[in-house]
Amino acid sequence: MSDESRSIVRRSTTPPSVSVPLVTPLQPSVAYTTDDADALDAVYGGAGFTYAREGHPNASVLAEKLGWMEGADPAWGRGVVTGSGMAALGTVLLGLLAAGDHVVGSNQLYGRSTRLLSVDLPRMGVDSTLADPTDASSIAAAIRSDTKMIVVETVSNPTLRVADVAGIAALARERGVLLVVDNTFTTPRSFRPFEHGADVVVHSVTKMLAGHSDVTLGFVIANTAEANAALGEVAVTWGFTPSPFDCWLAERGLHTFELRYDRAVSTAARLADSLAELPGVEAVLYPGRADHPEHARAASLFAAGGAMVGVVLEGGGRQRVNAVIRAASPVAFAPTLGDVATLIAHPASSSHRALSESERVALGIPEGLVRISVGIEDPDTLISELTHAFGS
Ligand code: PLP
């Protein structure tokens, strides 16, 4: 190799500068160099980064911000950013449970979370029971002497039922069981589970927090330094580490998170009321409306009704569902939520497609249920487009 090409292959050092970047630098480096083995010892002792799966600056910056948003005490240590929301939940289960333990899960969890609890955990010797999170007595009845953990979503996907977080937290404390709350739908802007007795908070950062449907990430944080250290070890060992670029994009998304969320929530409240008036609509599911089964609980727990609206179409067979989805174009039909643009999803053909029709109906998810994730478009235009589509 010539001297010239050798110098191109070798890495440059950062040019000296008295100024520093305004924007968080993106640092995709897989490894970090040190002067010698003694310096590497110091880094492993906690002074820096070594290898990206073990941690990198963009994940640390993001974890710091998300922990702060959730009101975590800095003494608990940093939470863990993972490659997806499911990886965050996997980190909790692998990090805080062992074979022989039992978990009580909400019977209204996101489809993959349900599968993780009821199919994958039992394969690894951890038993699980699903119960109704809107009723603490249903959760109480499912707790056994070997129960170590309760897993609920603050607001369920896609039925938007509101868990009795206070009642379940009291129960968890009394029985010495960890309470894990998936706060994806409510976000820390609306609800901070640690203030209501949760021990662990989980997020799909993919959704409202990152907010632009171009990142798949998760986050988990617990309320003790010991638990956060255990979660960090598991995420590193099982390789749940996120990409620096995804963390960088998510951090950028967070800068506008509060503006986006507040705008979406105020539009969602208006949209829910407008859709409820339409003749072709059997029911609107929205925690901010007085006809929601947990409206009083939602009003006491959250500042607002959220950015998601469920709509049950009258006579809602597949044909009517398809007609509404097509009439709503250019509002996109896509199986995700929390994007800057409004999205329509159909749980029966996406998140809950693995269930039989009778299982879905038992969970309150008929074929005719569509879920609207409200974005930040001009509210009047959006409401006019969607009332036209749903009323057609
Ligand atoms: N939790 C909830 C409430 C979700 O809705 C989802 C995905 O839709 C997840 C977790 C999983 O997140 P991810 O898709 O980032 O793995």
The structure's pTM equals 0.96
Q: Which residues are catalytic?
A: 53, 110, 182, 207
Ligand 1 near 110 CB (within 6 A): yes
**Structure token digits, residue 322:** 């398809």
Residue 48 C-alpha to ligand 1 middle, in angstroms?
A: 31
Q: CA–CA separation, 144 vs 95, rounded Å?
A: 21
Q: CA–CA separation, 286 vs 251, rounded Å?
A: 29
The whole-number average pLDDT for the span 216-234 is: 98
Q: CA–CA separation, 321 vs 314, rounded Å?
A: 10
Q: Of all atoms in ligand 1, which is nearest to the CA of residue 351?
A: 8
**Structure token digits, residue 167:** 């009642």
pLDDT at 54 over 90: yes
The whole-number average pLDDT for the span 199-219 is: 98
Dihedral of CA 243/244/248/254: which sign?
A: positive
Summary count for the chain: helices (H), strands (E): 16, 12
**What pLDDT band is residue 15 in, cutting at 50, 70 and 90?**
confident
Rg over CA atoms, the chain: 23
Residue 76 C-alpha to ligand 1 middle, in angstroms?
A: 25
The whole-number average pLDDT for the span 233-248 is: 98
For residue 262, give every residue at least 6 positions away whose Cβ sits within 8 Å of its Cβ, in sequence order, or none. Answer: 189
Cα 238 to Cα 75, 90, 179: the distances in Å are 25, 10, 23
- How far is C-alpha 76 from the chain's CA centre? 21
First to last CA, the chain: 71
Ligand 1 near 83 CB (within 6 A): no
Report which of 118, 85, 268 is spatially closest to residue 184, judged by C-alpha positions. 85
Ligand 1 near 373 CB (within 6 A): no
Q: CA–CA separation, 195 vs 180, rounded Å?
A: 13
Residue 204 C-alpha to ligand 1 middle, in angstroms?
A: 5
pLDDT at 5 over 80: no
Strand order in the sheet with 343-345: 281-285, 308-313, 369-373, 343-345, 332-333
pLDDT score for 359: 87
The whole-number average pLDDT for the span 195-218 is: 98
Query: pLDDT higher for 302 or 216?
Result: 216
